[in-house]
Structure 1
Amino acid sequence: MNDCSHNSSLHCAVCRASNSHLLEGQLDNIVAESNLRKRCLDFKKGEPIFLEGDPCEGVYCLKKGVIAIRKYGSDGTSAVMKLIFPGQNFGYRSVLFDKPHKTSAEALTPVSLCMLSKYDVKAAIDKNPKVRQDLINLIEQDLGAMEEKLLLTVTKTIRSRFAFLLFTMSKHIDPTANTVTFHLPVSKKDLSNITGITVESLSRLLKKFKSLGLIDEKKGLITILDREALHEMIQED
């Protein structure tokens, strides 16, 4: 998770301004004392935040909702590469390398976010090299997450992969509770792309997990009844 509270230099100035409880961090004083070109933006479900090939405008910090980072094929089909939850940053790779976006970002739910102008981020980098290192650290975390996902796909059973997905989603909603209720932010087809599990197998797993008393599911509303048991399942498989 690329939470802005995990980086001492790259923090979200809007968090300071709004005293957001979701976003604990704030930009380093070098940036916070500047005339930041910060913007607070809202998007409806299904709206793009940016599209593949768009020029980068800045670093984003999600305050509310869920965002899918998608990669589109030449035939127009897409795969969800990553889900962004409140408290996470995105868009930083394009800012760091000054390149157009290589993926698209789509609001899966109504979304509120803040954006820090790439010009201010670059000014912060010039004044404090540690800001660049924090950006690089975020990219390294992304690479680590991709490696973990690949390892799960290769070494874990589909039951364990699905348990890991539900466990991770629920931790973003509430990091401490053993019982958590949330709407699935993506379709079963997207879940299939994320986990490498067929849609048919996902439907069977939902029924199996319900029969085991691990979850309850009604019209896309998931209740994790025993998150600790999900975690144990991941470790065992």
Structure 2
Amino acid sequence: MERYAGRVAMVTGASSGIGAAVARALLQRGVTVVGVDLRPDRMKGWQLKDCTGQLHPLYGDVSDEESILSVFKWITDNLGGVDILVNSAGLFRNSGLISAPLSEWKLILDVNVLGLSICTREAVQDMLRRGVDDGFIINLCSLAGHIPMSDSRNSMYFASKVAVKTLLEGIRKDLIARKSNIRVGQISPGFVKTEIYNAATGLPDNFWDSHFLEPDDIARAVIFMLSQHPRVQSNEQLTAYNV
């Protein structure tokens, strides 16, 4: 990770859950972090005494292209550009194909697929323009992108994660064709103890009494991927609770 000390990472969905854990882990290793979220004020209360990196909380709506572009402009104007992008923002909704309204489908795809794609496009173009050849794009995917769907109500969410998996391979091949050493990878966790599921599914209070992954587990997976030698292409990490 020493090569990224003092460099700039943009983390979406950074105010809570996995995004917050990733942002803190990067800050602890001296990385300058731009935390992008709909609720950036939540980041201002963080205790960062053990962190040597600088945190810049910014409002950004990944479902809105203009909002994303304004974030990248701020980063360019104030920090020079992005060296690491962690696409952590994500949305879960019960959204089957028979009864769910279009608005629910569109919201899932706008956040999980199109927002991720716009952030990736802008970050890679910025890196290529500045001649950054050791940049890294990391997507937070899901085991949902790898396993059969268990509940038909989750069909659009599962479809969005399959799309994320496919898009990663597309950007990897594009970068190879450009002879770029910018690396890409994705972390695909199972259930992680975050607030993303509770609001969508009305889970009971004792749901998390069972053993699930913690956000810090996923942050460590991100750091592991970033810390590999530049010759190592770590495309995929599947992370599940050991039962």
Structure (1 or 2) with the greater strand fraction: 1
Q: Would you say same fold, with TM above 0.5? A: no
Structure (1 or 2) with the greater helix fraction: 2
Question: Could you state the TM-score of these two structures normalised by the residue count of structure 1?
Answer: 0.25
Question: Could you state the TM-score of these two structures normalised by the residue count of structure 2?
Answer: 0.24
Look at both structures and tell me which one has the larger radius of gyration over its CA atoms: 1
